[in-house]
């Protein structure tokens, strides 16, 4: 359990505490998971929560937020924030539907263009914040409005329904596969996409020099600049990645709901930020992990599911979720600083 | 520590995959369409009903839930659960999936939108769960019954009422429309145009979109009042916009020159029936919440082992000064 990045850890006791805090979301996830089993409704002796179908539903339901939250982790690691991801998801969902249904584009060109739109949109936000020096909160708040407006214009203000087939005004059936389930009809493809994104992000942060730059910019931007880190390039890249992942989530969203609507993804940025915060990533930047975010997203998903299975009143659900976020943030404050 | 991070991520992913490849398999029952024999256990049965609501932030939908709750009180066998999708299609899909997991005996759903909810409703139906769809339809026919109002009919009734009762000698009408692109908006307009045909002296001199909102109705009416010196009737696609229009007219001292009609007639303190009773609106037309009817249909399927109509369209009712107080009391028996 030694780590070059964990800076100075003086005693064994400290390191145990540090580990506990570092992986608070994983322990939190385990705790919520166990609680869910205990509080799960049962039917004919079977614990409904742990049924294969239900667990598949849980991870399917978090896949979109999870994909977005991975990108959000990158942004928050450099001390930024991206409020535009929900709107970019909506724009991408609309784009997928319009290109494939109304314009009769093929699967690959549509997906490539939609991903490119997300990437460029994110990169432009990165340019605005890194080169012009506007705070990312403001840039992406404006980005949210712009992406939402573009989605409304592109869709004509209405949801574009997706029908599958080979005929005109039909999306290719290959696109429908993205919303299907595999491994005996149990594992939803969106979950596999989320898993691939998460693994790729973890590996990327592990092997690339980019990772050191990222943590350096988030830790102390000035020091990073002085020690030769290409701060501007890092920032633009991070926002581009976040935009790319948001548009990927939009494609997944469209295929799961058979529709691209300009109102898709409203408020998703807040769920993604919540997953990152529960995952133990510091909003001040420089500290956190993708693994934590994945655990945070799953924790929220399990919590949503068990509250719903017990038919807890929707208003009470909001209160409970709010308290969990506060608790996670409070734990962060208690974390021993090294 | 980085390697730990990786192994944890790998473990998390493994957990995801394992979760998918787990133990039980409930998919065997697919394909069966819900016959009365399967779900009906008669009067001795106990039934859990799941109600999936699109968005309780709309008073109309909150009232729908309340009506279901009230009607279910009279059926001792029923235990109704409620979920709120907060206007998010994806959330509503998850809500229905969770009901399927809970193995509810019947699903009532008021879909946020048709297309995105169609496949999950079909999934429930194919598992043998009877499905009652309220207000907004889903596509295809994988549901047991649909209960809703007829917006064209409501528009027509409103048009006739204006042409025959309010403006028999003809006059100028302005139309405050609902959200552009919404089906009820188009239908309430279409019916209205048919309804006023009988009296060619009734002229629609202006129209504006108030997006169903009181404040938007008010600001649109501000502009309409400035542009049109003579307005006799304001036909609004719902009650809140009519109330907003009334406020706008009142602000410039013209509220007595014209009459206001709305649609929806929710029997709640802030609803259209009270506005008619208190004299701000001349009339409003009920848009049924279908809550009572949904529980009646559920009772027929589960308790009486009967069948229900595939489509049940509820008629609208004219509310004016003569019956507003009486109907409000009828709809709120306890208070």
- Per-residue model confidence as pLDDT tens digits over B154-186: 999 999 999 999 999 999 999 999 887 777 888
Interface size between A and B, measured as CB pairs under 8 A = 160
Contact assignment for A185 to B113 by CB distance below 8 Å: no
Q: How far apart are CA A93 and CA A87, in angstroms?
A: 10
Q: In this model, does residue A225 exceed pLDDT 80?
A: yes
- Give tens-digit pLDDT for B106-124: 999 999 988 999 999 999 9
3-state class of B114 per DSSP? helix
Contact assignment for B1 to A55 by CB distance below 8 Å: no
Contact assignment for B12 to A294 by CB distance below 8 Å: yes
What domains can you pick out in chain A, each with its CATH number? 22-40+49-333 (1.10.3470)
Contact assignment for B20 to A298 by CB distance below 8 Å: no
Q: In this model, does residue A1 exceed pLDDT 90?
A: no
- What is the pLDDT, as a whole number, of residue A332? 76
The ipTM is 0.87
- What is the pLDDT, as a whole number, of residue B183? 78
Tokens describing residue B132: 């009652």
- What is the pLDDT, as a whole number, of residue B14? 47
Which comes out higher in pLDDT, residue B207 or B13? B207
Which residue, chain included where needed, has tokens 């290409």? A230
Listed by number, the residues of chain A in 56-85 with a beta carbon closer than 8 Å to a beta carbon of chain B are: 56-59, 61, 64
Cβ burial of A219 (10 Å; 0-12, 13-18, 19+) is middle
Q: In this model, does residue B21 exceed pLDDT 70?
A: no
Cβ(B57)–Cβ(B87) under 8 Å?
Answer: yes
* Averaged pLDDT, A182-206: 93
Cβ(A37)–Cβ(A249) under 8 Å?
Answer: no
- What is the pLDDT, as a whole number, of residue B8? 46
Q: Which of B21, B82, B113 sits opposite A259 (nearest CB)?
A: B113
- If pLDDT is split at 50, 70 and 90, which confidence band does A13 have? low
Q: How far apart are CA B83 and CA B92, in angstroms?
A: 8
* Averaged pLDDT, A175-187: 88
Listed by number, the residues of chain A in 122-141 with a beta carbon closer than 8 Å to a beta carbon of chain B are: none
Q: In this model, does residue B18 exceed pLDDT 80?
A: no
- What is the pLDDT, as a whole number, of residue B199? 95
Q: Which residue on chain A is closest to B53 by alpha carbon? A: A314
Q: How far apart are CA A44 and CA A54, in angstroms?
A: 16
Mean of the per-residue pLDDT values of chain B: 88
Which of A140-144, A152-156, A262-266 is most confident? A140-144
Choose from B3, B6, B15, B16 for mutation: most chain A CBs within 10 A. Answer: B16
* Averaged pLDDT, A96-104: 95
The three state secondary structure string of B244-299 is HHHHHHHHCCCCCCCEEEEEECCCCCCCHHHHHHCCCCCEEEECCCCHHHHHHHHH
- What is the pLDDT, as a whole number, of residue B13? 47
Count CB neighbours of A161 within 10 A. Answer: 20
- If pLDDT is split at 50, 70 and 90, which confidence band does B2 have? very low
Which residue, chain included where needed, has tokens 């909160």? A137
Residue A39 near chain B (CB below 8 Å):
no
- If pLDDT is split at 50, 70 and 90, which confidence band does A12 have? low
- Residue B11 to chain A, least CA–CA distance (Å): 10
Q: In this model, does residue B12 exceed pLDDT 70?
A: no
Q: Chain A residues with CB inside 8 Å of B93's CB?
A: 256-257
Q: Chain A residues with CB inside 8 Å of B27's CB?
A: 53, 185
DSSP A122-183: HHHHHHHHHTS---HHHHHHHHHHHHHHHHHHHHTTS-EE--BSSSTT-B-HHHHGGGSEET
Contact assignment for B27 to A53 by CB distance below 8 Å: yes
Q: Chain A residues with CB inside 8 Å of B83's CB?
A: 308, 311, 314
Listed by number, the residues of chain A in 278-317 with a beta carbon closer than 8 Å to a beta carbon of chain B are: 289-291, 294-295, 298, 304-305, 308-309, 311, 313-314
Choose from B4, B6, B9 for mutation: most chain A CBs within 10 A. Answer: B9
- What is the pLDDT, as a whole number, of residue B6? 46
Cβ(B276)–Cβ(B319) under 8 Å?
Answer: yes
- Residue A161 to chain B, least CA–CA distance (Å): 6
- Give tens-digit pLDDT for B306-319: 999 999 999 999 99
- What is the pLDDT, as a whole number, of residue A11? 52
* Averaged pLDDT, A159-175: 91
Q: In this model, does residue A8 exceed pLDDT 90?
A: no
Q: How far apart are CA A287 and CA A5, in angstroms?
A: 10
- If pLDDT is split at 50, 70 and 90, which confidence band does B32 have? very low
* Averaged pLDDT, A136-160: 94
Contact assignment for B101 to A257 by CB distance below 8 Å: no
Q: What is the pTM of this model?
A: 0.84
- Residue B104 to chain A, least CA–CA distance (Å): 11
Contact assignment for A191 to B81 by CB distance below 8 Å: no
- Residue A294 to chain B, least CA–CA distance (Å): 8
* Averaged pLDDT, B237-266: 96
Residue A119 near chain B (CB below 8 Å):
no
Contact assignment for A294 to B6 by CB distance below 8 Å: no
- Residue A170 to chain B, least CA–CA distance (Å): 14
Cβ(B70)–Cβ(B331) under 8 Å?
Answer: no
Choose from B11, B23, B78, B116 for mutation: most chain A CBs within 10 A. Answer: B116
Cα radius of gyration rounded to whole Å, chain A: 20
* Averaged pLDDT, B187-195: 96
Contact assignment for A50 to B83 by CB distance below 8 Å: no
Dihedral sign computed on CA atoms, order B216, B221, B227, B233: positive
- Residue A150 to chain B, least CA–CA distance (Å): 17
3-state class of A212 per DSSP? helix
Which comes out higher in pLDDT, residue A41 or A331? A41
Q: Chain A residues with CB inside 8 Å of B119's CB?
A: 258
């Amino acid at each position: 359990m030694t780590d070059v990045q964990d800076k100075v850890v003086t005693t064994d006791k400290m390191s145990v505490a540090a580990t506990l805090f570092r992986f608070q979301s994983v322990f939190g996830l385990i705790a919520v998971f166990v609680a869910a089993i205990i509080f799960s409704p049962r039917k004919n002796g079977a614990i409904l929560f742990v049924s294969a179908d239900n667990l598949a539903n849980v991870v399917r339901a978090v896949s979109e937020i999870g994909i977005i939250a991975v990108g959000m982790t990158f942004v928050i690691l450099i001390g930024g924030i991206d409020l535009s991801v929900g709107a970019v998801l909506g724009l991408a969902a609309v784009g997928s539907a319009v290109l494939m249904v109304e314009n009769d584009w093929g699967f690959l060109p549509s997906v490539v263009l939609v991903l490119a739109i997300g990437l460029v949109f994110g990169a432009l936000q990165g340019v605005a914040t890194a080169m012009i020096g506007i705070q990312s909160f403001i840039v992406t708040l404006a980005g949210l409005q712009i992406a939402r407006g573009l989605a409304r214009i592109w869709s004509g203000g209405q949801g574009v329904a997706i029908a599958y087939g080979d005929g005109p005004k039909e999306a290719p059936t290959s696109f429908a596969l993205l919303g299907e389930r595999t491994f005996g009809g149990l594992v939803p493809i969106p979950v596999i996409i989320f898993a691939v994104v998460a693994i790729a992000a973890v590996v990327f942060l592990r092997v690339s020099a980019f990772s050191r730059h990222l943590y350096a910019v988030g830790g102390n931007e000035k020091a990073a600049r002085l020690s030769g880190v290409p701060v501007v390039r890092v920032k633009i890249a991070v926002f581009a990645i976040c935009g790319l992942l948001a548009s990927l989530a939009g494609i997944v969203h469209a295929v799961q709901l058979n529709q691209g609507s300009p109102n898709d993804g409203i408020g998703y940025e807040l769920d993604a930020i919540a997953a990152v915060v529960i995952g133990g990533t510091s909003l001040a930047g420089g500290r956190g992990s993708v693994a934590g975010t994945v655990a945070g997203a799953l924790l929220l998903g399990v919590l949503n599911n068990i509250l719903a299975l017990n038919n807890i009143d929707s208003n009470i659900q909001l209160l409970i979720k709010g308290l969990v976020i506060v608790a996670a943030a409070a734990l962060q404050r208690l974390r021993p600083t090294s | 520590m980085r390697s730990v991070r990786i192994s944890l991520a790998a473990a998390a992913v493994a957990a995801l995959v394992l979760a998918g490849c787990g133990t039980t398999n409930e998919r065997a029952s697919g394909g069966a369409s819900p016959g009365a024999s399967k779900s009906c256990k008669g009067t001795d049965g106990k039934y859990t009903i799941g109600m999936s609501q699109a968005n309780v932030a709309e008073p109309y939908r909150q009232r729908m839930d309340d009506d279901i709750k009230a009607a279910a009180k009279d059926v001792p066998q029923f235990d109704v659960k409620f979920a709120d999708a907060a206007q998010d299609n994806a959330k509503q899909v998850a809500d229905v999936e969770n009901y399927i997991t809970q193995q509810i005996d019947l699903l009532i759903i008021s879909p946020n939108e048709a297309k995105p909810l169609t496949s999950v409703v079909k999934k429930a139906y194919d598992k043998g769960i009877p499905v009652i769809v309220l207000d907004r339809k889903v596509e295809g026919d994988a549901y047991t019954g649909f209960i809703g109002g007829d917006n064209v009919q409501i528009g027509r009734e409103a048009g006739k009422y204006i042409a025959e009762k309010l403006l028999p000698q003809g006059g100028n009408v302005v139309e405050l429309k609902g959200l552009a692109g919404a089906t009820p908006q188009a239908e309430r307009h279409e019916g209205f145009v048919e309804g006023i045909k009988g009296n060619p002296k009734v002229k629609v001199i202006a129209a504006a979109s108030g997006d169903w909102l009181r404040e938007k109705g008010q600001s649109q009416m501000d502009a309409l009042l400035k542009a049109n010196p003579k307005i006799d009737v304001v036909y609004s696609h719902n009650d809140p916009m009519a109330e907003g229009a009334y406020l706008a007219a009142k602000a410039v001292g013209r509220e007595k020159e014209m009459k206001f009609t709305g649609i929806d007639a929710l029997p709640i303190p802030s609803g259209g029936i009270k506005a008619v009773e208190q004299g701000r609106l001349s009339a409003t037309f009920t848009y049924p919440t279908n809550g009572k009817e949904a529980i009646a249909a559920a009772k027929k399927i589960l308790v009486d082992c009967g069948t229900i109509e595939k489509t049940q369209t509820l008629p609208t009712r004219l509310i004016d000064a003569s019956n507003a107080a009486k109907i409000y009391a009828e709809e709120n028996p306890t208070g």
